[in-house]
Structure formats: C-alpha cells, structure tokens
Amino acid sequence: MKPSLLTIIFAGLFLIVSSCKEEAKEQAPQKPNIVFIMSDDHAYQAISAYDDRLITTPNIDRIAKEGMLFTNASVTNSICAPSRAVILTGKHSHMNGKIDNISPFDTTNVTFPQLLQKAGYQTAMFGKLHFGNNPKGFDEFKILPGQGDYYNPRFITATGDTTVTGYVTDITTDLTLDWLKKRRKPNKPFMLMYLHKAPHRSWMPAPRHYKEFTKNTYPLPSTLFDDYASRETTAGPAEMNILKHMTLRYDLKITDEVLEELNIKEHLGIGGLRKFNPEQRAEWDKVYGPINEAFKKEYANMNDSTLMVWKYQRYMQDYLGTIAAVDENVGRVLDYLDQEGLAENTLVVYTSDQGFYLGEHGWFDKRFMYNESFKTPLLIKWPNIITPGTTEDEMVQNLDFAQTFLEVAGVTAPEDMQGKSLVPLLKGEKEKWDRDAVYYHYYEYPAEHAVKRHYGIATKEYKLIHFYYDVDVWELYDREKDPQELNNVYNDPAYAEVVSEMKEKLTELRKKYKDSDALGNQYIQLYKDKGLIE
C-alpha cells in the first residue's frame, strides 16, 4: 500500500522540524557562561571550606570541591563600593576614581560587562551593586538602592522601582532563577552577576535562621582582647571595637524600651525593623523579646570583659545566621545549573567584596590591610578545565576578575586594565604566573570607623604598610611567623634587609600601577574641597 500524499507531507515536516532542533542544538553557545556570585562582607573565616569552627556552608563548599579554593586572594581597597568598582573596571581605585563610599562612580569607565555584552553575551545583574542606578552593560538588572534592606526590599529596575515582600537573600535568588528560567536565551552565552546584601551590617537573619542561630555559642577569637601593642597609633584609634563601638540597638537588636530602662543612650535605631509588616514583627519579637529580657536582667552584673563576650556572641549569632541563608540560596542556583545541563559549560565564582573581622583584634568591619580584612574568599569551578578539589596559594586579587572573564569569553582586555587573568592558574599552568606581590591602598579617612589612610604591599612571606596623612608610620609583618599580625617588626634590626627589599618592591608596584604620593595628595585635597577635612 502506497503512502498518501498527506502522510508524505507530514513525514517531510517531521524531518524538517527534527533537523531544525538538531541545528539549534549545534548552535547552542560554545563560549562558557559566567556566574559571578558575590556576598557583602563575607569573611573567609565564615566559610567551612576555609574554617569550619563557626559555620558549615556545604553549598558554597561545593564550588571548592568541584573546582579551586584560593587561599591568598585579596582586595585592593577593603571597602564595599570601591571593591565593586575595581571588579567591574579591572583598575585600582586611584585609576577608576571610586576611592571610597562617598565619591560617585565615574560612568565613563569601561566595565567588563559592557565588553561581554558587545561580544554577544546576554548579561544580567540581581542584588546589591551599592552605587549607581543604571549599571552599564546589562540587558536586565534589579538592584537594591544603596545598602538595601533585609526585609521587604525595594529594587531598582530599568523600568521603575518595585518592592518585594520577603527576605532579601531569598528574593535575590528568586529573581536570578526567574531570569535563568524565563528570559535567558539558550542560543547565547550569558554572564550573570548574582549579588547578595548579606552578611552586611546590621545582620538580620531570616526567621528560619534566627530561631536557630540565636541559641548558639561560638568559640572566642584568641585576639578578642588585643591591646594593639606596637600598633598604638594605627590599629589603636580605629572605631570598630566590639565592646566600644558595636551598638546595642542598631547592631545587637536591644530595644529602645530596654535601653531607656537601663539608662543607655545610643543614636542608631534598630536597622531594618521599619520595613517589617505586622506578621514579620510578631515573629521577630517572639525570639528577640526574650533576648532583650535576659540582657536587662544580666546587664547590671556585666563588666567590660563579660559585656565584650556577650556582644561577640550576639554578633556571631546574627552575622552567621544571615550567611546560612546565603549558603542555602547558592545551593538553589547550583542545583538549577546542574539540573538544566548548564553546569558543564559554566564558570562559577563565589567571592566577597572584601574580608571582615569576626572579633579578631576585638573588631568588626574591615578597611585595614591587616589579614582578615585584606583577604577575601575566592572559590571557582569550571568543569573540564579546573581539576576538582584544587587549592591555589598564589597571590591573586579582585583586580584580576575582569581580565579573567574577558579571556574566558575570548575577548581582548583593554590595555589600561591592571589585573592579570587567572586562567593560567585555573588550567593548572602555574609556570605562566609570575606575580609575587600585590598592592593595596585605602583612602576613606577621616570617616566612619576612623581607619587611617594607608597603602602597602604583600607577598606570601611579608606585609609592608605605610600609614599617612595625619601620621607617618611604617609597619612590617612576618606573615609566616606572625600570621595574626600582632608584632610590627619594622624597626627590628633583624628585618632591616627585608624592609629594604619590600620598600623597593613597593616603589616598583606603585610605579607599575601609576600610584604616587602626588596622586594621594590630590585625593586628600578632594576631601578638603568637599569639606570632609580641614
């Protein structure tokens, strides 16, 4: 029996459709996708791939298990907005102009997302950028205004602002997954920036986590009661001591009523509670109400030492509680990439905009070139390129991300970018890596937390720092013998040769990166012009 004409036509159409599907598969993007995940103020000490004494982060750890863990990653300027500007531009702060959280970002800077977009990448950003309301180089964005809120946050979009009910870490992930599922174009490679507000101050966990974490007790850092011997004029004046400068109301959630009853006066309100709806506030009060009552009873018997320990424990409970949500949500994104078959052709990065003090030296916050602030977590996976479970100790910086992503995408980096592509290290080609020192410069002084202006150089063995403006102090640390950086050996005769060699390296790096005392003075004058200093 011969097939009918209609049967032949349908068979032909089937073959054409099948052929188109196969052709579409062949046209799927060959260039790697890039997923850049960054949290705000996430200390490497609070990632269990680095240290499991405080918290377990199984999902973030997955990136290291399937890829590479960097143990000597650092930032060029340990403060939120400047760090993000360095990442986007591949230039030091003094070159891109975003030296602090105060000055505006120069939008004439060319950023790596712009270059990737021009090269055919679909680009998207969700979460916290911290500066600017219209980031260049993105097909779609939903970003928090400034610091944003933990609860019921407002987002800026290209078509107007929108407020979403819920918890910011969950919402940022929902927005990210919604884009991946509904608006990602399968025939184009993509670059996705997935940026968390957490664990930024004032550390407000989701209900599922504050109910758990407020019951925990954490080991005390060995330097919690640091007296800053040999660092009196540099570390000593900083206003980030947990006992003296961490507020009971804004940071640790003690209510106005309790503070008034105890005759304690503070100027900062409890951050974020104004955004609660009645149901959220009632759930919060069930947990934090008893904490307030207990503090009210215990306060009269506290001395400086016991109050410091109490503050540290409350700090860790809330800080680590916010990280628990970050880890869960990173897992949601990793699971989606696996389930949809995207993981095999996707470079995934997890990092923070800088490090953070979790009680080391008695501190919270960042800013210093000292270790916990200077170092940042960095975990990268790239299937079939990175050997799973690799640890890398080379000196790398957030300065290197832009050029890394451009090389991964096959895009030539502009000559004025100052970093180095990490691709040789990711491929295990360490012989192609020739950096032995990194450069740092912090500018935001006088300002919040009173960390003095300083610049410096770090190698694996030593760190040399020069504090300037209203002081002229040099510090040298032996990173191998003194990993906690408690002993400034700059004036120790035994280190005279090291000082000389490090100063020579510092001069070379400042010249290489086009930084100088004259440029530093220009930025001081900028503060004077703005009336920030006399």
Please report the pLDDT score of residue 109 as a whole number: 95
SS3 per residue for 414-447: CCCCCCCCCHHHHCCCHHHCCCCCEEEEECCCCC
The tens digit of pLDDT for each residue in 267-315 reads 877 767 889 999 999 999 999 999 999 999 999 999 999 999 999 999 9
pLDDT at 16 exceeding the cut of 80: no
Using only the alpha carbons of the chain, give its radius of gyration. Answer: 25
Please determine, for residue 534, whether its predicted confidence score (pLDDT) is greater than 90. Answer: no
Which of the 8 DSSP states describes residue 73? E
Average the pLDDT over 52-81 and give the result: 98
Residue partners of 456: CB distance under 8 A and separation at least 6: 369, 439, 440, 441, 463, 464, 465, 466, 506
Tens digit of pLDDT for each residue in 214-234?
A: 999 999 999 999 999 999 999
Residue 450 reports pLDDT greater than 80? yes
Lowest mean pLDDT among 21-25, 63-67, 424-428, 460-464: 21-25
More confident of the two residues 482 and 18: 482
DSSP-derived 3-state class of residue 391: strand
Say which range, 128-142, 174-188, 366-380, 476-490, has the weakest mean pLDDT.
128-142
pLDDT at 3: 53
Q: Evaluate if residue 247 carries a pLDDT over 60.
A: yes
Neighbour tally for 170: CB within 10 Å: 16
When the pLDDT of each residue in the chain is averaged and rounded to a whole number, the result is 94
CB 36, CB 192: distance < 8 Å: yes
Q: Supply 106's token pair.
A: 């120069």
Please write the tens of the pLDDT for every residue from 368-400.
Answer: 999 999 999 999 999 999 999 999 999 999 999
Pairing relationship of beta strands 378-381 and 346-352 according to DSSP bridges: antiparallel
Structure tokens at 271: 């951050």
* pLDDT for the residue 182: 97
Q: Which domains does the chain have, with CATH numbers?
A: 33-203+313-530 (3.40.720.10), 212-312 (no CATH)
pLDDT of residue 2: 52
